[in-house]
Structure 1
Amino acid sequence: MALPNTAASAGANVKSAVRTVELLEYFAGSPGLHTLAEVQEAVGYPKSSLYMLLRTLVELGWVETDATGTRYGIGVRALLVGTSYIDGDEVVAATASVLDQLAQETTETIHLARLDGTDVVYLATRASQHYLRPFTRVGRRLPAHATALGKALLATYDDAQIEELLPPDLQPTTEHTHTSRAALLEDLRAIRERGYAVDREENTLGLCCFAVAIPYRTPARDAVSCSVPVARLTESHERTVREALIAAGDQLARVTRRLA
């Protein structure tokens, strides 16, 4: 009797696991519902195996379909896992009171974010007290080079490491985004000198953001920011925001020191 080819079986299982993760990441980055043809074009898997994988994920609750069963999107199970990540994260818990205080002092929107590859991902947010304010959500992913949060984190790396971290092309999100490596590196050097990062409409037109890295790790993994609509950003208010953010950065360094 022939013995099972365990190596081949293990390889197939790994391939299936990789495809499952890639598929869920596709849905996470492409909100809404998509036809089988659209999904197949995006991920490039054989249509028959893709269909079987989708049906399995639908049965398990990781993928949902519309009433016709022909369009697919991310399922509620993904939300449960994402929520458990936030609920169990020690940095989110340790920084909560400081974020509350910073939001109270500045009256503006506050974000805690983590560097993930070439992007930053929002872990926590505190809404502005003003009617005119940015609308953001936990889990949002933005390119690091185009945000104050991302630049504050990139500035904790040396130039050689930054070159490895950056994507091949720096894509603009607005007309103010750095698309030149030289310009970005110059900006990061200035951030290291003054101790905070600034994004003046580089990610969102009409919005200015300030950020500091939380140095419980080196290079830093997390950062906190304050976002202010340009229409409300007077010279006096900008000074208040900067001072409050730098002070909060010192507090955050203390409360997260044990997490290193």
Structure 2
Amino acid sequence: MLVKQAANVLEILEYFAKRRRPATLSEVADELGWPRSSAFNLLGTLADKGFLYEPRTRGGYYPSPRWLSLVQTIADAEPLPEAAYSLVAEIAEETGETTAIGAPAGTSALFIHVVESNSPIRYFAQVGHKLPIHASSTGRAILAQYSRDERYALYRKISFQQYSETTPTSMEAVEAELRRSAERGWHQSLADFSPDLVGVALPLPIQSRRLSLVVAGPMFRCRDRIPETAAALQRAVRRFSDLLELSEAPAAE
């Protein structure tokens, strides 16, 4: 269920992120297709709360630094280890493909860190991008870390829409794919959700968090390189796990 007021606030943020300069009430209303009264009420509320300000008199509204302060405080409370950012960068450089960390978000997997490929033809992804948890290698590498009961409780909330010929469209099909992935040693997607896209993923547990690490790219370039990509991921995850163990080990007295 979409809550319109919340969606409008997020749409305002995305609008300013693309515009990157102040906007007047009329510009916001026209660009987003909102009634002037709705735009007036929302912009006024955000300004009253300190989330918008006017850099110049009558020059339009712009988001204030309060957004950054709040988001930074939230991020600092549960940060990814610095080694995780290095891990993603190293794999992206080694494979030449877009590499990301995925996290669970209900029936979806959500990218929380992304390094895009430098190739002109690549998987375009950004932080906040969502994928069906059952129909992507990113999501299934997360599901593999759930107990059977947790998975089946989640399956009951999934509509199992068929995105392509390879999409698993039932809980039994997803469970069968999880078993195949356990046997081969990695999770993969062959256009299960996104057309002509290959994904290769592994679980990336960090403390109590269930995360996944994925490399994704176009079918024509990546399909024949799946075992090679999986091996690069496995080596990198082993190095990362060793680093975490060393950092968490108690110091000798």
Is the counterpart of residue 184 in structure 1 residue 183 in structure 2?
no
Counterpart of 1:161 in structure 2 is: 150
* SS of residue matched to 2:160: coil
Distance 1:203 1:234, change over 3 A: closer
Counterpart of 1:35 in structure 2 is: 34
Question: Gapped runs of 5+ residues in structure 2?
Answer: 16-31, 54-62, 249-253
Is the counterpart of residue 207 in structure 1 residue 197 in structure 2?
yes
* Amino acid aligned to 2:240: L
Per-residue CA deviations over 1:13-62 (Å, capped at 9, x if unaligned) read xxxxxx9x9843565489763536xx9xxxxxxxxxxx967742354365
CA contact (8 A) 1:112 1:125 kept: yes
Coordinate RMSD, CA, aligned: 3.5
Counterpart of 1:254 in structure 2 is: 242
Count of equivalent residues: 218
Q: Which whole-Å CA distance do the structure 1 matches of 2:102 and 2:226 have between them?
A: 21
Is the counterpart of residue 132 in structure 1 residue 121 in structure 2?
yes
Counterpart of 1:152 in structure 2 is: 141
CA contact (8 A) 1:92 1:124 kept: no
Q: Which whole-Å CA distance do the structure 1 matches of 2:238 and 2:188 have between them?
A: 18
Deviation at 1:209, TM superposition (A): 0.4
1:5-20 to structure 2, matched below 5 A, reads none
Counterpart of 2:211 in structure 1 is: 222
Question: Identity of paired residues, percent?
Answer: 25
* Amino acid aligned to 2:79: E
Distance 1:61 1:92, change over 3 A: farther
Counterpart of 2:6 in structure 1 is: 24
Q: Which whole-Å CA distance do the structure 1 matches of 2:69 and 2:169 have between them?
A: 36
* SS of residue matched to 1:145: coil
Q: Which whole-Å CA distance do the structure 2 matches of 1:63 and 1:179 have between them?
A: 45
Counterpart of 1:243 in structure 2 is: 231
TM-score by length of 1: 0.69
* Amino acid aligned to 2:161: Q
Per-residue CA deviations over 1:90-147 (Å, capped at 9, x if unaligned) read 3252311111211121111100121122222211111213221011111222221121
* Amino acid aligned to 1:204: S
Distance 1:243 1:160, change over 3 A: same
CA contact (8 A) 1:209 1:225 kept: yes
Q: Which whole-Å CA distance do the structure 2 matches of 1:98 and 1:130 have between them?
A: 19
Deviation at 1:159, TM superposition (A): 2.2
Q: Which whole-Å CA distance do the structure 1 matches of 2:34 and 2:222 have between them?
A: 44
* SS of residue matched to 2:80: helix
* Amino acid aligned to 1:35: W
Deviation at 1:150, TM superposition (A): 0.7
* Amino acid aligned to 2:242: R
Q: Which whole-Å CA distance do the structure 1 matches of 2:110 and 2:226 have between them?
A: 25
Deviation at 1:83, TM superposition (A): 5.8
